[in-house]
A and B are shown apart, each in its own frame.
Chain A
Amino acid sequence: MPPKPFWLALGFAGVLACCGLSIVIGVRVVSGADLLAGLSGSVENISQAAIAKRIPRTIMAALGGAALGLSGAVMQAITRNPLADPGILGVNAGAAFAVTLGIAWFGMALSVTYVAVAILGAALAAAFVYVVGSAGPGGATPLKLALAGTATSVALASLMNAVILGRNDIANSVQYWMVGGVGGVTMDRVGLVAPFLALGFVLGAWTAPRLNSLALGDELAAGVGENVALTRAVSALGAVILAGATTAICGPIGFVGLAVPHMCRLIIGVDHRWLLPLSAFGGAILLLAADVLGRVLVRPAELEVGIVTALVGVPIFIIIVRRQRVRDL
Chain B
Amino acid sequence: MTRAPGLAPEPSPGSALVRDLRRRASRRWLATLLALASIVLAAFALTLVLGQSYTPPVQVLAVLRGEDVPGASFTVGRLRLPRATLAILAGLCFGLAGAAFQTLLRNPLASPDIIGISYGASAAASVAIVFFGLSGAAVTAFAVAAGLGVSTLIYLLAYKDGAAGTRLILMGIGIAALLQSVITYTLSRASEWSLQDALRWLAGSVNAASWGQVLPLLIVLPLLGLPLLATSRDLETLRLGDDAAQATGVRVGLVRLVVLLTATGLICFATAAAGPISFVAFLAGPITARLTGSGRSLLLPAALTGAALVILADYAGQFLLPSRYPVGIVTGAFGAVYLLYLIGRVNRRGAAL
Take A143-B170, A175-B188, A307-B185 as given contacts and tell me if A135 and B160 are in contact as well, using a CB distance cutoff of 8 Å.
no
- Chain B residue, CB-CB nearest to A138: B352
Residues from chain B with a CB closer than 8 A to the CB of A307 are 181-182, 185
Select from chain B the residue with minimum beta-carbon distance to A253.
Answer: B181
Pair B353/A150 contact, Cβ less than 8 Å: no
Q: Which among A41-49, A162-170, A184-192, A213-221 touches the partner chain?
A: A162-170
User: For chain A residues 129-158, which have a beta carbon within 8 Å of chain B?
Assistant: 131-132, 135-137, 142-144, 146-148, 150-152, 154-158
CB of B199 within 8 Å of the partner chain? yes
Of residues 78 through 102 on chain A, the ones whose CB sits less than 8 Å from some CB of chain B are: 83, 87-88
Within residues 53 to 79 of chain A, which ones have a CB less than 8 A from any CB in chain B? none
- B77 contacts chain A at the CB level, 8 A cutoff: no
Q: Is the CB of A155 within 8 A of B336?
A: yes
When the two chains form their complex, are residues B160 and A152 in contact, meaning their CB atoms are under 8 A apart?
Answer: no
Residues of B within 8 A of A318 (CB): 157, 171, 174
B310 within 8 A of A: no
* CB atoms of B160 and A132 under 8 A apart: no
What chain B residues lie within 8 Å of A314 (beta carbons)? Answer: 174-175, 177-178
CB distance from B145 to the nearest CB of A (A): 21
Closest to A254 in B: B177
Q: Which chain B residues border A142 with CB–CB below 8 Å?
A: 170
The segment from B6-14, B105-113, B136-144 that touches chain A is B105-113
Interface centre among B113, B177, B181, B325 (most CB of A within 10 A): B181
B203 surroundings in chain A (CB, below 8 A): 158, 161-162, 165
Stretch from A21-29, A262-270, A321-329 that touches the partner:
A321-329
Task: Give the nearest-CB partner of B331 in chain A.
Answer: A158
Asked if residues A150 and B184 are in contact (CB atoms below 8 Å), the reply is no
Q: Which of B184, B346, B353 has its CB near the most chain A CB atoms (within 10 A)?
A: B184
Contact check: which of B176, B177, B282, B346 meets A135 at CB < 8 Å?
B346
B interface, over-half SS? helix
**Could you tell me if B181 and A322 are in contact, using CB atoms closer than 8 angstroms?**
no
Contact A159 B177 (CB under 8 A): no
Whether A255 and B347, one on each chain, are in contact in the complex, defined by CB atoms closer than 8 angstroms, is no
Decide if B333 is an interface residue (CB 8 Å cutoff): yes
Contact across chains for B199 and A147 when beta carbons are under 8 A apart: no
Cross-chain contact A155 with B335 (CB below 8 angstroms): yes
A-facing residues in B127-171 (Cβ within 8 Å): 157, 160, 164, 166-167, 169-171
B167 CB → nearest A CB, Å: 6
User: Main SS of chain A's interface residues?
Assistant: helix
* Interchain CA distance A254-B113 in the complex, whole Å: 19
What 1/0 mask marks residues of chain A from 294 to 329 whose CB sits below 8 Å from any chain B CB? 000000000110110011011001100110001001
Is A172's CB within 8 Å of the partner chain B?
yes
B346 partner, pick from A132, A151, A162, A176, beta carbons under 8 A: A132
Judged by a CB distance under 8 angstroms, whether B28 is at the interface is: no
- CB–CB A162/B333 < 8 A: yes
* A179 within 8 Å of B (CB atoms): yes
* CB proximity to A under 8 Å, residues B63-115: 107, 109-110, 113-115
Contacts of A304 in B (CB 8 A): 185, 188
| Chain A residues, CB < 8 A from B200 | 165
A148 to B108, CA, bound (A): 11
Instruction: State whether the Cβ of B243 lies closer than 8 Å to any Cβ in chain A.
Output: no
- Report the minimal beta-carbon distance from B343 to chain A, rounded to whole angstroms: 5
CB of B342 closer than 8 Å to a CB of A: yes
B267 within 8 Å of A by Cβ?
no
Given A136-B352, A154-B278, A158-B333, A128 and B343 contact (CB-CB distance below 8 Å): yes
Chain A, residue nearest B317 (CB): A162
Which of the segments B190-198, B215-223, B234-242, B290-298 contacts the partner chain? B190-198
Residue of B nearest to A176 (CB): B188
Q: For residue A152, which residues in chain B have a CB less than 8 angstroms away from its CB? A: 339
Q: Is B332 an interface residue (CB 8 A)?
A: yes
Instruction: Assess the B336–A150 pair: CB atoms within 8 A.
Output: no
A88-B173, A321-B167 as given contacts; A158 in contact with B192, CB under 8 Å = no
CA distance A172 to B184 in the complex (A): 11
Q: Give the chain A neighbours of B347 by CB distance below 8 A.
A: 131, 135
Interchain Cβ contacts under 8 Å between A and B, 28 examples: A128-B339, A128-B343, A135-B352, A135-B353, A136-B346, A136-B351, A143-B169, A143-B170, A144-B109, A146-B170, A147-B114, A150-B115, A151-B109, A154-B114, A154-B279, A154-B335, A155-B278, A155-B335, A158-B329, A161-B199, A162-B203, A165-B196, A165-B203, A175-B195, A180-B184, A255-B177, A306-B184, A329-B170
New A-B pairs, 4, CB < 8 Å, besides A135-B343, A147-B115, A310-B178: A155-B336, A159-B332, A310-B177, A310-B181
- Which 3 interchain pairs have the tightest Cβ spacing? A158-B332, A135-B346, A147-B109
Q: Which residues on A are within 8 Å of B, measured CB to CB?
A: 83, 87-88, 128, 131-132, 135-137, 142-144, 146-148, 150-152, 154-159, 161-162, 164-166, 168, 171-172, 175-176, 178-180, 254-255, 303-304, 306-307, 310-311, 313-314, 317-318, 321-322, 326, 329
